[in-house]
Chains A and B, each alone.
Chain A
Amino acid sequence: RIVPVRWSRYNPSYLEPEAKKESYQKPLEELTEEEREQMELKGVRPIKAAPPTLSSSVFSDPMISKFTNMMMKSGNKVLARSLMSQTLEAIKRKQLEKYHKAPENEKETIECNPYVIFHQALKNCQPIIGLSNITRGGKTYQVPVPLTDNRKRFLAMKWLITECREHKHRRTMMPEKLSQELLLAFNNEGPVIKRKHVLHKMAEANRAYAHFRWW
């Protein structure tokens, strides 16, 4: 795990807090040499304060937390989290209603788990290649460029949120619209997937400028 160090105000001797229950339940004999050293260090060194996003709950999901943080406006995490839980509930209700009405042979094809749908929808929305502005001889060109995993996940989540915020009727609630978009993205339809395809087409069209990239 990569720990951000550059702007950290902590003394390097401080260790990260450990939230997983399983690591404390292992008996001493099962630990390897490194883990035994780690446990001894933890008894001696000071430990950093736990960030508010760190959770020991079995139901916590880092992707969902990231998405909730991106949905948050002016620090209102309570509202963002309640919207997220209402979205997941809305997805579950819609899928369960479809499930109960479907005939026996189609029941296995219907996915009811909102987390699986969320992860699959985000995966479907991630672009493979991105564009970046490079200035050569006074003119700015859109150059196709590979994207890192983090950047892909960020773009997928950003597109989903902006799509829901802008193209929503004044009276529809955010959880309803988000659940609609997530279900469409899960089936590879919908405006977010279209935006991804548009980006791919632009990158394909600007193939000629690919050699401008120097990294």
Chain B
Amino acid sequence: DRGCALHTAARDGLSSVSSQDIPAQRPRAVFHTSESDPAKHTEQHEGRLYNIPLEEVKAVFPHGLPHRFQQQIQTFNEARVMVRKPALELLSYLKGSNFAHPAVRYVIYGERGTGKTMTLCHVVHYCSKQGWLVVHIPDAHLWVKNCKELLQSSYNKERLDQPLQASVWLKNFKTSNERFLQEIKTQKKYMWGKQESTEEGRPLREVVEQGLARVRSASDAVGVVLREVKQQSHRGSFRLLVAVDGVNALWGRTTLRKEDKSPVSPEELTLVHNLRKMVMNDWSGGAIVTTLSQTGSLFKPSSAYTPQELLGKEGFDALDPFVPIPVSNYSPREFESCYGYYLERRWLQHEKAHTEDGKAELQFLSGSNPRQLDRLAGPL
């Protein structure tokens, strides 16, 4: 099936054809595109799925892909991401942005399961292909809930450290940005406790190694990395992308408590404090792309999806001049594309799923919502 020459030729030849003339013999070939560089994606490729080679997936996304998508990559042995309008819009803004001006903030919002995280991952893939330094926080909500160890910070007595979350993030940051850690040098001497210190002019890699080796100072290491990267981005030697998923966690409430059972507010956590400084637009030479997320959020009603509801007054004022990017459910063309992909990869095994009735039922039951379609197509 895959090795047939006509099939691959049809795929390559038809990828530049618009969807109006779908040929009757090979309808499935239209849903793929052989363009695996996000920089070359245009409206022509809208609704089609592009392939990310598995080595790139491991290098660019050590964390950050949704769990269901990771399972899908393992089952199908390939990573196919759909090119959708919000992502194309964001990419065009990034291509045309002036890096001498302060960083522009983009907030991707939408109802549950419409593809905000996947849009963010598309943008992250584009930026890492272009050679930007990507600071990707997979889910800010993980930093404000379910923390087993909270240490009092040695740098500032009022703040609290989270060694486990910080060390996990440092490990993943190291995998995704190997070459930048060698090139960027520290501009100040940092003291880790009484004996250890990192001199001025040492590569950032040493700070990261220090954070991984001494887990107690991992949160401080994260703070140092973020500060250095922010200060050096305006020089122009590299572009910086700050990608935060679930940015509404930074300004909400936490479920963590101190030892005297009093609640912890987000400012008192070192990681959150440093991340808030990153998301401010007082630096230049890059962009900040964030996503709102109700699914992991704390103390927010499940029907809330707009920036005003999820960020609250404090968060909205802090993020204030931002570019909102709404993400909605699948258009009919995108639904056809997703359905065709599932059929081709033999994911829809039920006999009735191949019929028109089955397709109409899937579209009705899922309401063209990507997550619902994925969940419904699972057992079928």
* B77 adjacent to A100 (CB under 8 Å): yes
Q: Judging by beta carbons under 8 Å apart, are A58 and B357 in contact?
A: yes
Contacts of B349 in A (CB 8 A): 92, 112-115
Are A113 and B350 closer than 8 Å at their CB atoms?
A: yes
CB distance from B222 to the nearest CB of A (A): 32
Does A58 contact B358, Cβ atoms closer than 8 Å?
yes
The reply to whether B350 and A115 contact each other, CB–CB distance below 8 Å, is yes
Q: Scan residues 161-215 of chain B and give those whose CB is less than 8 A from a CB of chain A.
A: none
Rounded to whole Å, the gap between the CB of B82 and the closest CB of chain A is 20
Interface of A is mostly: helix
Given A113-B350, A114-B349, the answer on whether A97 and B74 have CB atoms closer than 8 Å is yes
**Interface check A176, CB cutoff 8 A:** no
Question: Range of interface residues on chain A?
Answer: 10 to 19
Residue of B349, B361, B379 with most partner-chain A CB within 10 A: B379
B318 close to A (CB within 8 Å): no
Q: Tell yes or no: A88 within 8 A of B by CB.
A: yes
User: Is B75 an interface position by the 8 A CB rule?
Assistant: yes
Q: How far is the CA of A97 from the CA of B352 in the complex (A)?
A: 23
Contact of A59 among B76, B347, B358 (CB under 8 A): B358
Chain B 277-299 interface residues, beta-carbon cutoff 8 Å to A: none
Q: Is B264 on the interface with A (CB-CB < 8 A)?
A: no
Q: How far is the CA of A88 from the CA of B347 in the complex (A)?
A: 12
Q: B71 to A93, Cβ gap below 8 A?
A: yes
B-side contacts of A88, CB under 8 Å: 378-380
| Distance between A51 CB and nearest chain B CB, rounded to angstroms | 20
In the bound complex, do residue A85 and residue B75 qualify as a contact, i.e. CB atoms below 8 Å apart? no
Give A100 to B352 CA distance when docked, in angstroms.
23
Interface: A99 (CB within 8 A): yes
Is B90 on the interface with A (CB-CB < 8 A)? no
Q: Does A161 contact B (CB under 8 A)?
A: no
B353 at the interface (CB under 8 A from A): yes
Contact A112 B346 (CB under 8 A): yes
User: How far is it, in angstroms, between the C-alpha of A133 and the C-alpha of B145 when the chains are bound?
Assistant: 58
Q: Are B350 and A59 in contact (CB under 8 A)?
A: yes
Q: Does B302 contact A (CB under 8 A)?
A: no
Question: Would you give the shortest CB distance from A21 to chain B, in whole angstroms?
Answer: 8
- Measured CB to CB, the closest approach of chain B to A100, in angstroms, equals 5
Contacts of A114 in B (CB 8 A): 349, 379
B residues 211-258 touching A (CB-CB < 8 Å): none
Does A59 contact B353, Cβ atoms closer than 8 Å? yes
| Whole-angstrom CA separation of A113 from B351 in the bound complex | 9
CA–CA, A93 to B379, complex, Å? 10
In angstroms, Cα B347 to Cα A93, docked, is 9
Residues on the B chain within 8 Å of A58, using CB: 352, 355, 357-358, 361
Within 8 A of B (CB), among A109-134: 112-115
CA distance A112 to B350 in the complex (A): 10
Contact in complex: A85, B358 (CB < 8 Å): no
Report the minimal beta-carbon distance from A60 to chain B, rounded to whole angstroms.
Answer: 10
Instruction: Give A58 to B365 CA distance when docked, in angstroms.
Output: 12
- On whether the beta carbons of A84 and B350 are closer than 8 Å, the reply is no
Complex contact A96–B346 (CB within 8 A): yes
Task: List chain A residues, Cβ under 8 A from B352.
Answer: 58-59
Cross-chain contact A85 with B379 (CB below 8 angstroms): yes
A76: chain B residues within 8 A (beta carbon): none
A189 within 8 A of partner (CB): no
CA distance A86 to B358 in the complex (A): 20
Flag whether A163 is at the interface (Cβ < 8 A): no
Q: For chain A, residues 64 to 78, give those with C-beta under 8 angstroms from any C-beta of chain B.
A: none
A residues 181-206 with Cβ under 8 Å of B?
none
Residues of B with C-beta under 8 A to A93: 71, 75
| Known contacts A58-B361, A59-B361: A84-B77 contact under CB 8 Å | no
A106 to chain B, nearest CB (A): 15
Interface 0/1 of B79-119, CB less than 8 Å to A: 00000000000000000000000000000000000000000
Q: Is A57 an interface residue when CB atoms closer than 8 A count as contact?
A: yes
A115 to B352, CA, bound (A): 12
| Residue pair B355, A84 in contact (C-beta under 8 Å) | no
- Residues of B near A97 (CB, < 8 A) are 74-75
- Complex Cα gap A63–B350 (Å): 15
Say how far B54's CB is from chain A's closest CB, in angstroms: 13
A186 vs B355: C-alpha distance when bound (angstroms):
27
Residue ID in chain B nearest A117 by CB atoms: B349
- Cα A85 to Cα B378 in complex, Å, equals 7
- A96 touching B75, Cβ below 8 Å: yes
B357 (CB) vs chain A CBs: closest residue:
A58
Contacting residues, chain A, for B75 (C-beta < 8 A):
93, 96-97
7 further interface pairs, Cβ-Cβ under 8 Å (given A58-B357, A92-B378): A21-B357, A59-B353, A59-B358, A92-B349, A93-B75, A96-B76, A113-B351
5 A-B pairs with C-beta separation under 8 A: A59-B350, A88-B379, A92-B349, A96-B75, A112-B349
4 nearest A-B residue pairs (beta carbon): A85-B379, A88-B379, A89-B378, A58-B352
- What residues of chain B have their CB less than 8 Å away from a CB belonging to chain A? 71, 74-77, 346-347, 349-353, 355, 357-358, 361, 378-380
